[in-house]
Amino acid sequence: MSTKIYSAAQVHDGCKFLPAGTGVELDEAGVVTALHADTSGLKVERLEGTICPGFVNAHCHLELSHLSGLIPEKTGLIPFLQAVTGIRAHADESQKKDARFAALRAMNQVGIVAVGDIANTTDTLDLRASDQMHFHTFVECIGFTEHGAGSRFEQGATIWKTLQKQTVRTHSLTSSLVPHAPYSVSEKLFRMIDAAQPDALLSIHNQECVAENEFFNSASGAVIDLLNGFGIDHSSFQASGKSSLQTYLPWLSKEHPIIFVHNTFTERADIQFAKQHCRSAFWCLCPNANRYIEQALPNVPMLASETENICIGTDSLASNHQLSIFAELQTLKQAFPELSWETLLRWACHEGARALQLEGTIGRLEVGKRPGLVWLPSWEERTIPQRIA
Ligand SMILES: [Zn+2]
């Protein structure tokens, strides 16, 4: 099998920058066959800018791709959720299919090689079968009333079982059953999800709005309006006097690795609590969606001072103008200039791969891995990454 060597002004291996001039040799299947510290005498394709492994989108909802441009910006989470629920009921199946395939192609083109994708339906079976990307599908359970927990669990489990029947070809296909968010899942449903898969990878929308913590602390605020708006009986709910994370995490076994998504209103005490209460905690940042919905960003420097386990997601086209991990990094760099590109690319590559349990295959330029190769012509804001292998 023939191979090709690439080098660039800067080469990031997914964790760190390698010495200038390093050459990355790949075979036709994209497997790294060698890293050359000295490329003199070798035939090398040399590029300006930076090369790095493919990116991991740790949080997306590809099944919502047809909602692109339809949901008003900057309304706050509760009106956003009401708008999504209202609109998604009336979509044409062929438009939905075209939109999700276009989104998958676009993600590929901007260097994304794996996705942690949220599913509330079986709509993305076709994307998973197309074998163009590694998928871990998080099938969500949603149900706030205790008496409805059994039927809500069965709804999710039916979708999950269908996904599990899909077979693996060149790309990894995994899935797990997960809680949607703290305010939309009863304690009973949390416990059923836990019992069904005691050490599975979980994800949860976490502390995305200030009202979520308010709800758990004092049973008041805008979450009550949301539940009332959907006609959901919350009369048996009792405030814990704690933040949402510190309330629900003890309902799950400590054996789960968990990806906490958004974390816009997560505090240092929550991060420290999570370190004690789950096997591994990953913190997924979706800054462009945070801006779209809440006009707020998480305290990223504080988070980075507590943990290395940070990964990046785009959320859906209902709450973002594009599905590009590099665009998310640009937003973080703009908001927090003290974050280095070395760290940001590590979050997008290696930490994302670890979060989705794919670090054996992707996330680093290492011999034997098939990480994809991405070219970043510059760090400038309008730079569009290009997948080159
Ligand atoms: Zn989401």
Give the whole-angstrom CA distance, residue 366 versus residue 307.
Answer: 24
3-state secondary structure of 36: strand
Q: Would the pTM count as exceeding 0.75?
A: yes
What pLDDT does residue 172 have?
A: 95
What pLDDT does residue 233 have?
A: 85
Question: 55-362, which class in CATH?
Answer: alpha beta
Q: How far is the CA of 319 from the centre of ligand 1 (A)?
A: 9
Q: How far is the CA of 67 from the centre of ligand 1 (A)?
A: 13
Q: How far is the CA of 84 from the centre of ligand 1 (A)?
A: 12
Give the whole-angstrom CA distance, residue 337 versus residue 331.
Answer: 10
Q: How far is the CA of 339 from the centre of ligand 1 (A)?
A: 24
| Chain mean position to CA 157 | 21
What pLDDT does residue 312 have?
A: 98
Q: Where in the chain is the domain with CATH 3.20.20.140?
A: 55-362
Q: How far is the CA of 313 from the centre of ligand 1 (A)?
A: 9
Residue 292: how many other CB atoms lie within 10 Å: 20
CATH architecture entry for 1-52+363-389: Roll (2.30)
What pLDDT does residue 89 have?
A: 63
Residue 75: how many other CB atoms lie within 10 Å: 16
3-state secondary structure of 104: helix
Q: Where in the chain is the domain with CATH 2.30.40.10?
A: 1-52+363-389
Residues lining ion ligand 1 (Cβ < 5 A) are 315
- Sequential pLDDT tens for the chain (389 residues): 799 999 999 999 999 999 999 999 999 999 999 999 999 999 999 999 999 999 999 999 999 999 998 888 888 888 888 888 877 666 789 999 999 999 999 999 999 999 999 999 999 999 999 989 999 999 999 999 989 999 999 999 999 999 999 987 889 999 999 999 999 999 999 999 999 998 999 999 999 999 999 999 999 999 998 888 888 888 888 999 999 999 999 999 999 999 999 999 999 999 999 999 999 999 999 999 999 998 999 999 999 999 999 999 999 999 999 999 999 999 999 999 999 999 999 999 999 999 999 999 999 999 999 999 999 999 998 899 999 99
Q: How far is the CA of 119 from the centre of ligand 1 (A)?
A: 10
Distances (CA, A) of 160 to 164, 235, 358: 6, 31, 20
| Residues 6+ away with beta carbon under 8 Å from 388 | 6, 51, 373, 374, 375
3-state secondary structure of 382: coil
Q: How far is the CA of 223 from the centre of ligand 1 (A)?
A: 17
E strand or H helix at 105: helix 93-109
Q: How far is the CA of 117 from the centre of ligand 1 (A)?
A: 9
Q: How far is the CA of 10 from the centre of ligand 1 (A)?
A: 33
Q: Which two tokens stand for residue 148?
A: 């409805």
